[in-house]
Chain A
Amino acid sequence: MTTETRLVEVRRNVLKQNDILARDLRRRFEETGIFVASLVSSPGTGKTEFLEKTLSGLRRDYRVAALVGDLATANDAERLKRSGAPVRQITTGTICHLEAQMVENALEGWDLNDLDCLFIENVGNLVCPSSYDLGERLRVVLMSVTEGEDKPLKYPTIFNTADVAVITKMDLAEAVEFDLEKARASIQAVRPGMRVIEVSAKTGAGMDDWMEYLEPRIDLGFGIADFGLEEKRRTTPSAEAAATPPFPRRGA
């Protein structure tokens, strides 16, 4: 007995739910004039230390807040609270990345009109977060000098979806014989034209460069000209694959 089968053409983005939510979030952020940046890196790059210093620095002039993703603990959120900024923990359980829905849930009860700037620290992971748009305006990818200059070549997808790269723990560069030019070249290879900023959150070196990069973006918010590119880079496309037929040739 043979079963009759039929082929139907559909066009459905697998991450449709996430992309729709992310788009709604981005619109909400735009309407309330809040600048949202997400941070991605490997575990141990120093995202939390970097974010703590960033929040402390910005708090003089801006109303800032942060959401922190972590698999199990609330340690990062506790650390960040030392900056004095409102911080909320997103505990993801077994999930290795943040999704737009988690961001939306975590924002509940916060009046976005009371904020100028929100940071979202993703779970330490350079693979999975690359697939999920969180509605952010700026995606910051961090790597530390102890991770090796070729990190971007090992994780090209996440570096390619980022808008700016930060190299952390520069105070250790000499001790680990870190080759800055080589690291810069690796970043440029996978994401040509991306701005690279070197910092040491511990000594404060380079944090001024980071603030100088960040502050005009917070001030301009969504008025900045290249807005739209970010969304295009992160959401999965729905129409562009239309050029090729939906099914491979049968019997191939």
Chain B
Amino acid sequence: MHELSIALSIVEGASEEASRHNGHRVEAVYLKLGQLSGVVKEALLFSYGLAAEGTRLEGSRLEIEDIPATVFCTRCDAERTLASIQQFCCPVCGIATPEVTRGRELLITGLELSE
């Protein structure tokens, strides 16, 4: 369970970005969370409230967008979304697809700020 340390990093990062944009309070943090990031969404949401306590993010929302794992299929010459992360193969043609193109994201992409 490392979601609390991830949540603390989100709060720290968002706080720095808010200062850069002259935001006094943060109302919401937008996060892209990849299916292969190794982070459990529910645990992260739970930890976030704790991590934000006593900071300018206290009471803010963590808006998580799930990013599915996608791979590059060399036979189809196309990016494909994995049907399951327990099977790294092309959902269309079935060949093994070791090259991951998306799904490792753990990115803050936006902030909702108030004065």
**Contact, CB under 8 Å: A13 / B97:** no
Docked CA distance A3–B115 (Å): 8
Name the CB-closest residue of A to B7: A14
B45 contacts the other chain (Cβ, under 8 Å)? Answer: no
Number of chain B residues whose Cβ lies closer than 8 Å to a Cβ of chain A: 46
Q: How far apart are the CA atoms of A14 and B64 in the complex, in Å?
A: 13
Question: Which residues of the partner chain B approach A28 to less than 8 Å between Cβ atoms?
Answer: none
**Is B27 an interface position by the 8 A CB rule?**
yes
Q: Answer whether A191 and B102 are a contact pair too, CB < 8 Å, given A241-B67, A247-B30.
A: no
Least CB distance, B45 to chain A, in whole angstroms: 14
Contact of B102 among A241, A247, A248 (CB under 8 A): A241
Q: State A248–B115 Cα separation when bound (angstroms).
A: 23
State which of A153, A157, A188 has its C-beta within 8 Å of the C-beta of B96: A188
- Complex Cα distance, B32 from A32, in Å, reads 36
B30 and A131 within 8 A (CB): no
Query: B44-57 interface mask toward A, CB cutoff 8 Å, 1 = contact, 0 = none?
Result: 00000000000000
**A131 near B98: Cβ-Cβ < 8 Å:** no
| CB under 8 Å from chain B, chain A span 137-194 | 153, 156-158, 160, 188-193
The residues of A that contact B65 with a CB separation of less than 8 Å are: 248
CB–CB A9/B9 < 8 A = no
Q: In chain A between 1 and 41, which residues have their CB closer than 8 angstroms to a CB of chain B? A: 3-17
CB contacts (< 8 Å) of B36 on chain A: these are 156-157, 160
Q: Tell me the interface secondary structure of chain A in the complex.
A: mixed
Known contacts being A11-B109, A128-B2, A131-B38, is A240 close to B63, with CB within 8 Å?
Answer: no
Query: Could you list which residues of chain B lie within 8 angstroms of chain A, going by C-beta atoms?
Result: 1-2, 5-6, 9-10, 13-14, 17, 21, 23, 27, 30-32, 34, 36-39, 63, 65, 67, 85-89, 96-98, 100-102, 104-115
What are 30 A-B pairs at a CB distance below 8 A?
Answer: A3-B27, A5-B27, A6-B112, A6-B114, A7-B110, A7-B111, A7-B112, A7-B113, A8-B110, A8-B111, A9-B110, A10-B111, A13-B106, A14-B10, A14-B108, A15-B106, A127-B1, A127-B2, A131-B39, A131-B106, A192-B89, A193-B98, A237-B104, A238-B107, A240-B102, A240-B105, A241-B109, A244-B32, A246-B109, A248-B30
